[in-house]
A and B are shown apart, each in its own frame.
Chain A
Amino acid sequence: MSEPKVTDQEEQRLEAQTDEGAQVMTPVRGEVLGGGVLWPETDDTMILNMGPQHPSTHGVLRIMLELDGETIVRSKPVIGYLHTGMEKTGEELTYVQGGTNVTRMDYLSPLSNELVYSMAVERLLDIEVPPRAVWMRMLLVELNRMASHLLWQATNGLDLGATSMMVYGWRDRELTLRFLEKITGLRMNHNFIRPGGLAADLPDNWREDLDEICVTVEHGVREYADLLAQNPIWLERLVGVGQLTTEEAIARGITGPILRSTGFPWDLRKAQPYLAYDEVDFDVICGENGDCYDRYMVRLNEILESVKIVRQCADRMPAGDYRIQDRKVTPPPRARIDESMEALIHHFKLFTEGFRVPPGETYVPIESPRGEIGCYLVSDGTGKPVRLHIRGPSFYNLQALEPMVRGALVADAVAIVSSVDPILGEADR
């Protein structure tokens, strides 16, 4: 099969060729492109529609592909099938309730969403959370990153036909989830990290559970590497597929493991440390070629880095309060509510009316498992935000699809979409 050559001129034409509307794609009839040989003059290209109900588009992503034979000439992702109006709902919820809203955006790393939202509210309030809350937040977010990457290993394996990888990935993620359930009370959508700290302290015997998880996950990652990393079929499917250069990735707003896989070691945890990431020891994993295999390896190794951070968090977990002792944002302890009328009223007011946040605006970025997640929060001094905007990494990362699938085969498109790891709940919000 000859590799189609896409020249600059063709590229410009393809870029400009979107007057058909963003949600429509029409085949280019019998047209010879600038380079000459892409399509025979008599032949038409074919439009293949993938999704929104497609098993390998990770939710409800829809991609329209223009095919020349089996080669993808042009692609157009269509999103919005999971648009939930969360930013509008966020304007109607108080700052206390807001966490329930944002946690449902990126449902594979809900704690990252809660964290970025809570940090934005805290910055507007100009408050600092106590050290134990900082370290607990780090512990939880890294556990969540492990769970998210484990799930990605599972679904990526499933998409490429490695079904046993799927079963392994879910098995180890289940362990992490059960621990998070023990801490937060829910398997997903925890609403545990809240403005001012966390909802509760760590449970008894958390250390033993954590050690078991770390050992199991480390063992698991080695097992996955044995299973797939040198598997000839796996290499055949991934190496050199969906390449992206660093320049293109940066221009298109790509962040996270996709950017790192191109060989650009940019991780907000290192570059612009938040929480206490400057006090823990971990490495930024980056690839070389920016292909699907590098993205696979980056995510695989990031699990181990997360385990490293989790261990350090467990070792250095300070004692003290798990939330700020500021009566403005913190509800009274549960025991006080039973005995004190004032505490009951305080609790009631806090959860019905919430607290007021001084007028202002701020943007807080952190590193989620998918890249830079940011929260742009605008307050007008009332108990509800004027604007709650979440910069979802998946939303921007989906723009990497177009250059990556161009010139690839249809079967590669599945691998490429999978390697982007888009979470449509966050892209569409």
Chain B
Amino acid sequence: MPLDQLPHNFLTARLEDLVQWARERSVFPATFGLACCAIELMATGAAHYDLARYGMEVFRASPRQADLMIVAGRVSQKMAPVLRQVHDQMVDPKWVISMGVCASTGGMFNNYALVQGVDQVVPVDVYVPGCPPGPETLFHGILTLHHQIRTGDLLARRERSGAGAGIQVGQRDGTPSHVQPIPVRRKSA
């Protein structure tokens, strides 16, 4: 319907809903391909599966421009500090999808070299199973994340369930980012 045919030329909505809707529809993933899963991640973004359907086809090379980190592959002890730094560099609000069993639990490689679950390093919102998960499985994970962003119980769930291996994630100054939002300074009466 053209705008001039609207009986009233304004709509009302809760600001929170609007923000959540906007966030859901404009998730910018960071490129964090590590191993086999990265290939499936790229396949998800390529012609046949086409991640652009969810407005997510633009993978940002700079973590500063991204708000979703899809950890696609096994995280080694050598890579873990890098992963953490990239996560710290991303702007709030940010989400993490742990793609594949290696990122989620270490998978079949229970040995000295791998971090046994990326949730020991960064907080994880959605775990996608599979070795590697097919693009359809990743889509399911992404849609689950979208649902969590839209319904807004994302942070509540994380706090309630103590997910993320009970590790408090803070910015560089040590303040847990998702627990304490930026304080709004009110003018005192």
Contacts and interface: CB of A to CB of B under 8 A. Distances in A.
Physical contact A–B (CB less than 8 Å): yes
Interface of A: 52-55, 59-60, 80-86, 88-89, 92, 100-101, 104, 107-108, 151, 154-155, 166-168, 170-171, 173-174, 177, 187-189, 424-425, 428
Contacts of B74: 82, 84
B43 A170 contact: yes
Interface string B8-49: 000000000000000000000001111110111011001110
B40 A188 contact: yes
Nearest to A80: B78
Contact of A54 (B61, B73, B131): B61
Contacts of B33: 59
Interface stretch (B110-118, B121-129, B148-156, B162-170): B110-118
29 contacts: A53-B31, A53-B82, A54-B61, A55-B31, A55-B61, A59-B33, A80-B76, A81-B79, A82-B35, A84-B74, A84-B76, A84-B113, A85-B114, A88-B113, A89-B108, A89-B109, A89-B110, A89-B111, A101-B108, A104-B35, A104-B36, A107-B35, A167-B46, A167-B47, A171-B46, A174-B43, A187-B132, A188-B39, A188-B132
Task: Determine which residue in A53, A83, A154, A188 has the highest number of CB atoms from chain B within 10 A of its CB, and name it.
Answer: A53
A156 B22 CA distance: 34
Nearest to A164: B47
Contacts of A167: 46-47
B139 interface: no
Interface string B55-77: 00001010100000000011011
Given A60-B34, A81-B78, A188-B36, A174 B48 contact: yes
A170 B31 CA distance: 18
Contact of A85 (B59, B63, B111, B131): B111
Interface residues of B, number: 35
Given A80-B78, A82-B74, 9 more contacts: A55-B31, A59-B35, A83-B77, A85-B114, A89-B109, A100-B108, A171-B48, A187-B132, A188-B36
A55 B39 contact: no
Q: Is the interface of B mostly helix, strand, loop or mixed?
A: loop
Task: Determine which residue in B32, B46, B82 has the highest number of CB atoms from chain A within 10 A of its CB, and name it.
Answer: B46
Contact of A52 (B38, B59, B79): B79
B47 A170 contact: yes
Nearest to B133: A187
Contacts of A89: 108-111
Given A85-B114, A189-B131, A425 B79 contact: no
A59 B59 contact: no
B42 A170 contact: yes
A137 B39 CA distance: 23
CB-based closest 8 A-B pairs: A170-B46, A85-B113, A107-B36, A85-B111, A171-B47, A55-B61, A167-B47, A174-B48
A53 B114 CA distance: 17
B76 A82 contact: yes
Nearest to A108: B39
Task: Determine which residue in B61, B77, B108 has the highest number of CB atoms from chain A within 10 A of its CB, and name it.
Answer: B108
Contacts of B76: 80-84, 428
B114 A84 contact: yes
A53 B32 contact: yes
A89 B113 CA distance: 10
Contacts of A187: 40, 132, 134
A426 B42 CA distance: 19
Contacts of A52: 79, 82
A83 B43 contact: no
A266 B31 CA distance: 36
Nearest to A428: B76
Nearest to B106: A84
B84 to A, nearest CB: 11
A174 to B, nearest CB: 5
Contacts of A83: 76-78, 113
Interface string B71-96: 00110111100100010000000000
A114 to B, nearest CB: 14
Contacts of B86: 53
A100 B131 CA distance: 11
A266 B132 CA distance: 34
A187 B36 CA distance: 11
Contacts of A85: 109, 111-114
A13 B46 CA distance: 45
B87 to A, nearest CB: 11
Contacts of A166: 46
A252 B40 CA distance: 32
A81 B82 contact: yes
A173 B33 CA distance: 19
B73 A82 contact: yes
Nearest to A107: B36
Contacts of A82: 34-35, 73-74, 76, 79
B112 A88 contact: yes
A427 B63 CA distance: 26
Contacts of B35: 59, 82, 84, 104, 107, 424-425
Contacts of A424: 35
A167 B49 CA distance: 11
A55 B59 contact: yes
